[in-house]
Structure 1
Amino acid sequence: MAIFNTDKALDMSCTERELRRWVHMIAELFPMTSEQAGHADFEVQGGTARIAWKEMPDRVIALVRLKRMEVTLAFSDGVPADARAHFSKQFQMHTLRGGG
């Protein structure tokens, strides 16, 4: 059984449906090895990357309510730092939203 070390914890304003769509986009770059109710595992150089999520209370700003998810990126032992950084960067690039 792989031991996962959390590399990044993110507070994201999104629904679980949106997050799952992003997870499947990442699967086009890194083969998905499993998908469960609260996480998905991917094959990366030297081991496994895991994206895990759980719902958080909505963020409320005046009359606006934003759904929130706590998302963690974790890696099994043996995944080198450069592979962790590449996976993290790809995930964050796929989840960026425009603004300005």
Structure 2
Amino acid sequence: MAIFNTDVALDMSCTERELRRWLQMIASIFPMVSEESSCADFTIEGGTARIAWKPMPDRVIALIRLSRMEVVLAFSEGVSADARAQFSKQFQMYTLRGGG
């Protein structure tokens, strides 16, 4: 069993359905090894990347309610800093929302 070290913890405004759709898009770059009810593992250079999530209370701004998820990116031992950075960058590019 791989030991995972947390690299990034994110507070994201999204639903689980949106997150799972993003995971499928990421799987086109990094093969998905497994998907469970609250995490998914991907093969990356040097080991495995894990994206784990759990629901958080909605963010409420006046009459607006935004769904929130705590999303954690973790990596198995042996994954280089460059591979971690590349995976994190790709994840954030897929989940980035525009504004302005």
TM range, smaller chain? over 0.9
Give the aligned partner of residue 98 of structure 1. Answer: 98
Q: CA deviation at 1:95?
A: 0.3
Amino acid at match of 1:63: L
- Aligned pair count reads 100
Distance, in Å, in 1 between the alignment partners of 2:23 and 2:31 is 11
RMSD: 0.3
Distance, in Å, in 2 between the alignment partners of 1:51 and 1:24 is 12
1:83 matched to 2:83? The reply is yes
Amino acid at match of 2:54: K
Q: CA deviation at 1:98?
A: 1.1
1:5 matched to 2:8? The reply is no
Percent identity for Structure 1 against Structure 2: 79
Paired residues for 1:56-71 under 5 Å: 56-71=56-71
Q: Give the secondary-structure state (helix, strand or coil) at the position aligned to 1:78.
A: coil
Q: TM-score, normalization: structure 1? A: 0.99
Moved over 2 A (4+): none
